[in-house]
A and B are shown apart, each in its own frame.
Chain A
Amino acid sequence: MTLRRYRPLLAAAGLALLGWSGLQGSSAAQTAERPQIVVKNFMFQPRSLTVKVGSTVTWTNMDEEPHTVVSSSGLFRSNGLDTKDSFSFKFDKAGTYTFVCSIHPQMVGTIVVQ
C-alpha cells in the first residue's frame, strides 16, 4: 500500500480526533468559541463567519487607518479602533448579523450564529 492510499484514512482519523476533543470541552473548543476577525486592508477577514450561540467574537484592527464595527441592526457598536485596538461582542441568539465599518461603510461583514 502506498502512502497516497493512506491519506483518506489519516484524514478521517484527524476529524475523529477533532470531534473528540471538541466534545471534551478542551482548549480546542475554547478557541472555537472565541473567534477572531482581523480588520486589514480595509476588509473584514474573514468576511463571513459562522459561530455557535454564546460565542464572543473579537475584531482587531491591523490597519493604520481607524475602523469601527457597527451592527446594521443597532445591536452593537464599537468605539473607533486605532491600530491594534480590539472590540468584542457576545452573540447570545441564533441569527445572521451584518456589520459595517461606519468610517468606511463599503466594508461589510456577516456573523452567522447557530
Chain B
Amino acid sequence: MTADQALLSRRKALKCMAFGGAGTLFALAGGVFTPIDLAVAAADRKLSAGLGKPLFVQISDTHIGFNKEANPDVNGTLTRTIDLVNEMSEQPALIIHTGDITQLSKPAEFDAAQQMLSRLRTTELHTVPGEHDVADATVTEYFSRFGKASDSKGYYSFDHAGVHFVALINVLQFKPGGLGTLGPDQLAWLAADLKGRSSSTPIVVFAHMPLWTIYEPWGWGTGDADQAMSQLRRFGSVTILNGHIHQIVQKVEGNMTFHTARSTAFPQATAGVGPSPGPLKVPADQLPGMLGITNVLVVERPRSLALMDRTIA
C-alpha cells in the first residue's frame, strides 16, 4: 500500500466513522426490516437516491426556556436544527414535534418556540405535548396554542399522501409511581378511528412518551400502550415515534417499528445509568453530535416508510 492509498483508506474510515455517528437508516420493505448504516448509505448514491421522498421531519424535546449547564443555548441548537431542515434539497411535506416544546410551559417560552418554528420552510406543523408543556397549574398554555387540531383533547388523526397519522397524548394522566397513560376515552377513540381502515394503509403514530416500556423506574413508557398496540397490529406498516428520552432507542415487532428521537436541546443518560433521568452534561464540542432530528421518507416500491436520523453536528 502506498502512502497515498493509506491516507485515502484512513480518510474513508474516518468519514465512515463520522457518518456512523449520525445514526442508522432503517428501511421497511414488505414487512422485512433492513437496517442500513448511514456510512454505507452515504457511500452508495444509488441506494440513497432510492430511499424515497421526504414525508416529514420529526423534531422533539426543544425545551425552550432550559438554561442549565447541559446546554445554555437551546435557542441556538433549535435554530441550527431549523437551518438544517430548511437546507434539505427536497422539503418535507410536514413537520411533527413530539413534545417538550418548552421547559416550564411558560407563555414566553411557547412564544419564543413558535417564533423559531415559524422559520421552517415547511409550514404544516403537527404537535403533541410533553409533560413539560402541560406543567402550568391550569394546563391551558399548550392547548390555547396547539389545541385546535384535537379540540383540546390532545389526540387527533389526519391523512397525508396515503399515510394515516395518529397523534396520541400520554402525559396528562399518571398513576402515582407509574408510567404515562392513554386512558379509556382515548383508546376508545383510537379504536373508532382505525375501524374500517384497510390494513395496507401505512400508519404513523406519534406521542411524547415512549409507547413501549423502555425503563419503568424512570417512567419511560406508557402503562396502557399495549391496548393501543393490539389495535395497530393488523396493519402492514406501523411506525411509532416518540421523544422524551433524548436519545435514539428502537425496536421492531412484526410490522411495527418503534423509534424515539433525539432532542434538539440536551442529551439524557442511558436507561438506569446514574440515579435519575436528568440532563446529561457533555463537553461542548460533543453536544451537537448528540442532538438532532428524524427524517421520515416514503419509499414507493415497495410502499413503506424509511427512518433516517441526523445530528446537528
Tell me the A residues contacting B by CB distance below 8 Å: 41-42, 63-66, 68, 72, 77-80, 82, 98, 100, 102-106, 108
Contacts and interface: CB of A to CB of B under 8 A. Distances in A.
B278 A103 contact: no
A65 B275 contact: no
Interface residues of B, number: 29
Main secondary structure of the interface of A (DSSP, over half): loop
Contact of B177 (A78, A79, A82, A105): A105
Main secondary structure of the interface of B (DSSP, over half): loop
Interface in B120-151: 131-132, 134-137, 139
Contacts of A105: 174-180, 219
Can you list the 7 inter-chain pairs with the closest CB atoms, starting with the nearest? A80-B135, A105-B174, A80-B104, A42-B276, A108-B176, A106-B219, A103-B131
A82 B179 CA distance: 23
A111 to B, nearest CB: 13
Contact of A80 (B132, B177, B178, B277): B132
Given A64-B68, A103-B131, A80 B219 contact: no
Given A64-B68, A80-B132, A102 B174 contact: yes
Contacts of B139: 77
A103 B135 contact: yes
A65 B279 contact: yes
A48 to B, nearest CB: 13
A14 B276 CA distance: 40
Contacts of A41: 275-276
Interface in B275-309: 275-279
Contacts of B275: 41-42
A42 B103 CA distance: 16
Contacts of A78: 137
Contacts of A100: 174, 176-177
A106 B177 contact: yes
Contact of A102 (B68, B135, B178, B278): B135
A101 B179 CA distance: 12
Interface in B162-179: 171, 174-179
B217 interface: yes
Contacts of B278: 42, 63-65
A82 B103 CA distance: 9
A100 B139 CA distance: 16
Contacts of B277: 42, 104
Nearest to A109: B176
Contacts of A106: 177-178, 217-219
9 contacts: A64-B68, A64-B278, A65-B278, A77-B139, A80-B135, A104-B277, A105-B176, A105-B178, A108-B176
B105 interface: yes
